[in-house]
Amino acid sequence: MGFSHPQTLLSKEPVVTPLRKRMIENMQMRNFAPKTIHIYVDVVARFARYFGKSPEQLGAEEVRQYLLHMVQDKKLAWATYKQALAALRYLYRWVLNGPEVVQDIRCPRPERRLPVVLSFDEVQRFFSAIPLFKQRMILMTAYAAGLRIAEVVHLEVSDVDSQRMVIHVRHGKRNKDRYTMLSPVLLQMLRHYWVAARPVRYLFPGRSLDQHMSVSVVQRACRDARLRAELDKAVTPHTLRHSFATHLLEAGTDLRVIQQLLGHANPRTTALYTYVSTKLISETQSPFDLLDLTGKGTP
């Protein structure tokens, strides 16, 4: 009933043990996203390999030791630690139906790192540095609609609603649907793109029309464009999403509207963009300017 198996170390394909199978089926029944299932299963497999035992033979003390190992020895990022914590909690509570073995584990204080945001000039230079039409269009769509990379590659032709001027985002994060804006300029460009590419199902197909473009292709196109544009900032598809949100905020768009467009469950996530908007900072008057200091600071 173990989670990992010696053969796992000798083969690229993991052995599907009864416990692994039960965990996968349990998450599928709860409608977990495939990416989340993969992450949780991988976390539990690493946990089992660390101790060389099945999680069924491990308890609260081993969980504590493993999490401390991640923080103190591996020095993993906060997001990675949080995923491991959630995966182990899920395993013991919902799969093994045991006591809450993770209840006494305290999460480390997360570091707040501000997202990278491009200026309008940098966005223009970035798009001008993408030579292939389809790659340029998919990254433009990601920016114009504030989409995550998984959302933009899964877009279907029917998701573009030119009558209501919205884009239907299906199965976004946490498997939630939403609508986001359809820019009139983007719509005109997508019409030209459709005439040239003739996509059938997916708006941005891969090598075959019945498959969407892979995430790795988009990431590589993004990396290459950043180098061609000679941008000093690190640019990923998610950087375009951050830039979209920040530019909307600087244009005066209400934070609640931006939250809905981005599909954020927590408004505090959207509020992060108030920390990176240099326009809002520069246009805010300092209380020092309100003081009457005429003639009092001159030598």
Can you give 123-180 as a three-state secondary structure string?
Answer: HHHHHHCCCCHHHHHHHHHHHHHCCCHHHHHCCEHHHEECCCCEEEECCCHHHCCEEE
Whether residue 298 is predicted with pLDDT greater than 70 in this model: the reply is no
Whether residue 249 is predicted with pLDDT greater than 50 in this model: the reply is yes
| 238 closest CA partner among 268, 272, 208, 204 | 272
pLDDT at position 297 = 47
Whether residue 205 is predicted with pLDDT greater than 50 in this model: the reply is yes
CATH of 6-95, one of 1.10.3720.10, 1.20.1070.10, 1.10.10.10, 1.10.150.130: 1.10.150.130
User: Which among 76-80, 111-115, 253-257 has the top mean pLDDT?
Assistant: 253-257
Whether residue 6 is predicted with pLDDT greater than 50 in this model: the reply is no
Q: What is the mean pLDDT of residues 282-290?
A: 68
More confidently predicted of 102 and 232: 232
Separation CA 33–CA 172 (nearest Å):
9
Q: Mind giving me the DSSP string for 104-116? A: TPPPPPPP--PPP
217: which residues sit within 8 A by CB, 6+ positions away?
A: 135, 206
Do 81 and 70 form a contact (C-beta atoms < 8 A)?
Answer: yes
Do 83 and 43 form a contact (C-beta atoms < 8 A)?
Answer: yes
More confidently predicted of 4 and 169: 169
> Residue 272 burial by CB count (10 A; 0-12/13-18/19+): exposed, middle or buried?
middle
Residue identified by tokens 């030598």 is: 299
CA atoms within 13 Å, Cβ hemisphere of 97: 3
Please give the positions annotated as active site.
148, 173, 238, 241, 264, 273
Q: How many residues does the chain have?
A: 299
pTM: 0.72
Do 90 and 30 form a contact (C-beta atoms < 8 A)?
Answer: no
Separation CA 116–CA 241 (nearest Å):
10
Whether residue 113 is predicted with pLDDT greater than 90 in this model: the reply is no
pLDDT tens readout for residues 139-185: 999 999 999 999 999 999 999 999 999 999 997 777 789 999 999 99
pLDDT tens readout for residues 69-105: 988 888 888 888 889 999 999 999 999 998 778 765 6
Separation CA 155–CA 145 (nearest Å):
12
For CA atoms 152, 157, 161, 162, the dihedral sign is positive
The neighbouring-strand residues paired with 178 are 169
Name the least confident of 104-118, 124-138, 228-242, 277-291.
Answer: 277-291
Specify whether the backbone of 298 is left (phi greater than 0), alpha (psi in -120 to 50) or beta. beta
pLDDT at position 279 = 74
Q: Which amino acid is at 204?
A: F
Whether residue 289 is predicted with pLDDT greater than 70 in this model: the reply is no
Which residue ranges make up each domain of the chain? 6-95, 120-283
Q: Which fold has domain 120-283?
A: hpI Integrase; Chain A (1.10.443)
More confidently predicted of 283 and 24: 24
**Percent of the chain scoring above 90 in pLDDT:** 64
Whether residue 230 is predicted with pLDDT greater than 60 in this model: the reply is yes
Q: What is the mean pLDDT of residues 261-282?
A: 84
For residue 276, what pLDDT band results from cuts at 50, 70 and 90?
confident
Whether residue 134 is predicted with pLDDT greater than 90 in this model: the reply is yes
Name the least confident of 60-74, 90-104, 207-221.
Answer: 90-104
Element (H, E) at 258: helix 255-262
Whether residue 7 is predicted with pLDDT greater than 50 in this model: the reply is no
Name the least confident of 74-83, 102-111, 194-203.
Answer: 102-111
